[in-house]
Amino acid sequence: MNTVAILKAVQLLKEGKLVAIPTETVYGLAADASNPKAVEKIFKAKGRPSNHPLIVHIADSASLATWAIHIPDIAYQLAEAFWPGPLTMVLNKAPSVPSIVTGGQNTVAIRSPNHPITQQILKLFKGGLAAPSANRFGHISPTTAEHVKKDLGKQVDLIIDGGPCIIGVESTIVDLTSTPIRILRPGAISAKQISNVIHKPVIYHKTTQKTQAPRVSGSLSSHYAPNTPAIRIHTRALEKKIKETRNKGKTCAVLARKKISAVSHPQLIVMPKDPENYARILYQQLRFADLLKVDLIIVEDVPQTPKWRAVQDRLNRATKKT
Ligand code: TXA
Ligand code: MG
């Protein structure tokens, strides 16, 4: 681990600068969460609307009470079970949390990321880091330092390379201020896993497009999206769609969980058959498909089973159903 880079990151963050940090889910664009001027730079760099709240990243649950009030016991039980890890909890915000962090809401989203470099940064920084995914607003989240450099290289003061993200999709967001408790964004940790720890029902929250100021920005219908038009299609209609596209004189890239004889590398991107490995490389492969400069990205739909929920959610936003 590069100690010099870690110390540099801590120093820059203390000075109110932006540092891209690795996490197990996706790379984050971090700033001192207690410094409104520093946090403002995040919104500018990403081109993100100011009403979209950010997640505060902390080293561990010991500092939860710095950021939240009326913390229920279940928050500590969840931290014990899943932190550091891909779980973000929405709690009542402490009065000291700058409103720019929470988009003016009275709740705050908090998580402890599981990456050794970022854990060291947080421990030395001794504070909270506001960090959305380190991509331009609406674009695909970055899962390597290279992705961050391409999207935001000029706007960031330092990018810490911590290798490719091992989970590959953003954290599960659970709202502990609602009854029943709701998942606002599905991720690697499921409603069932959460429910098993807290012994309470946990539901998946359905967001509507009509919501004016979305509590979860990933709830916008088009998000996490490649620049190339992208569609998703049922396995049985896949080969017909490829033929049709070509007959119109158009080129396509295909993400499928099986080989397709009509398409070859690099336009054919064979995806893993299990949801964990699929999620891990999904964003990287969507970015790769974008680079191929084809007319259309065709994604084979994934199984409609609970294990695939996080992947289904991201594909629903990255592609149009046909
Ligand atoms: O895995 C992750 O969560 C990554 C890494 C970097 O930690 N971060 C991430 O941040 O995905 P971002 O900003 O791209 O997504 C944060 C989500 C947004 O959809 C935001 O609306 C939601 O968290 N959020 C933040 N504060 C909230 C609050 N008080 N209530 C409800 N949702 C909130
Ligand atoms: Mg994001």
> pLDDT grade, residue 206 (50/70/90)?
confident
Query: What is the C-alpha to C-alpha distance for residues 278 and 106, in angstroms, rounded to an integer?
Result: 36
**Ligand (nearest to CA of 25):** 1
Nearest CA-CA partner of 40 in 83, 96, 99, 94: 99
Alpha-carbon torsion angle 89, 92, 98, 104, nearest 10: 100
Query: Quick one: what percent of the chain has pLDDT higher than 90?
Result: 89
**Ligand (nearest to CA of 109):** 1
Q: What is the pLDDT of residue 212?
A: 37
85 lines ligand 1 (CB under 6 A): no
pLDDT greater than 90 at residue 208:
no
Q: What is the pLDDT of residue 33?
A: 98
88 lines ligand 1 (CB under 6 A): yes
Neighbouring C-beta atoms of residue 221, cutoff 10 Å: 11
Query: What is the C-alpha to C-alpha distance for residues 215 and 316, in angstroms, rounded to an integer?
Result: 18
Query: What is the C-alpha to C-alpha distance for residues 118 and 21, in angstroms, rounded to an integer?
Result: 6
Q: What is the pLDDT of residue 218?
A: 54
Query: Ligand 1 pocket check: which of 21, 27, 55, 102 to mutate, most ligand atoms within 8 Å of Cβ?
Result: 55
* Ligand 1 atom at minimum distance from 135 CA: 14
Q: Which has the minimum average pLDDT: 20-29, 38-47, 206-215, 219-228?
A: 206-215
Q: What is the pLDDT of residue 262?
A: 86
Q: Please give the average per-residue pLDDT across 57-78, as a whole number.
A: 98
Summarised one tens digit per residue, pLDDT across range 17-49 is 999 999 999 999 999 999 999 999 999 999 999
Neighbouring C-beta atoms of residue 235, cutoff 10 Å: 13
> pLDDT grade, residue 252 (50/70/90)?
very high
Nearest CA-CA partner of 34 in 11, 50, 57: 57
Query: Ligand 1 pocket check: which of 100, 170, 178 to mutate, most ligand atoms within 8 Å of Cβ?
Result: 170
Nearest CA-CA partner of 82 in 20, 25, 126: 25
- CA 214 to each of CA 206, 209, 220, 226, 253: distance values in angstroms, whole numbers, following the listed order: 12, 9, 7, 21, 32
Distance from the CA of 179 to the center of ligand 1, in angstroms? Answer: 20
DSSP 19-77: EEE--SSS-EEEEETT-HHHHHHHHHHHT--TTS--EEE-SSGGGHHHHEES--HHHHH
Query: What is the C-alpha to C-alpha distance for residues 3 and 270, in angstroms, rounded to an integer?
Result: 38
DSSP 147-161: HHHHHHTTT-SEE--
Q: Whose CA is closest to atom 3 on ligand 1?
A: 171
184 lines ligand 1 (CB under 6 A): yes
> pLDDT grade, residue 214 (50/70/90)?
very low
Distance from the CA of 254 to the center of ligand 2, in angstroms? Answer: 24
Summarised one tens digit per residue, pLDDT across range 117-172 is 999 999 999 999 999 999 999 899 999 999 999 999 999 999 999 999 999 999 99
102 lines ligand 1 (CB under 6 A): yes
Distance from the CA of 90 to the center of ligand 1, in angstroms? Answer: 9
Task: Determine if residue 293 is left, alpha or beta; phi over 0 gives left, psi from -120 to 50 gives alpha, anything else beta.
Answer: left
Please name the residues in contact with 70: beta carbons below 8 A apart, sequence gap of 6 or more. 91, 92
**Ligand (nearest to CA of 52):** 1
Q: Please give the average per-residue pLDDT across 277-302, as a whole number.
A: 97
**Residue 104: Cβ-neighbour burial (10 angstroms; 0-12, 13-18, 19+):** exposed
- CA 296 to each of CA 12, 252, 270: distance values in angstroms, whole numbers, following the listed order: 41, 5, 16
C-beta separation of 69 from 92 below 8 A: yes
> pLDDT grade, residue 220 (50/70/90)?
low
DSSP 161-185: ---S-SS-SPPEEEETTSSSEEEEE
Q: What is the pLDDT of residue 99?
A: 97
215 lines ligand 1 (CB under 6 A): yes
The reported pTM is 0.95
> pLDDT grade, residue 2 (50/70/90)?
confident
Helix (H, G, I), strand (E, B) or coil at 201: coil
> pLDDT grade, residue 113 (50/70/90)?
very high
142 lines ligand 1 (CB under 6 A): no
Nearest CA-CA partner of 42 in 111, 115, 134, 119: 134
pLDDT greater than 60 at residue 15:
yes
Please name the residues in contact with 301: beta carbons below 8 A apart, sequence gap of 6 or more. 232, 233, 234, 235, 315
Q: Please give the average per-residue pLDDT across 293-301, as a whole number.
A: 97
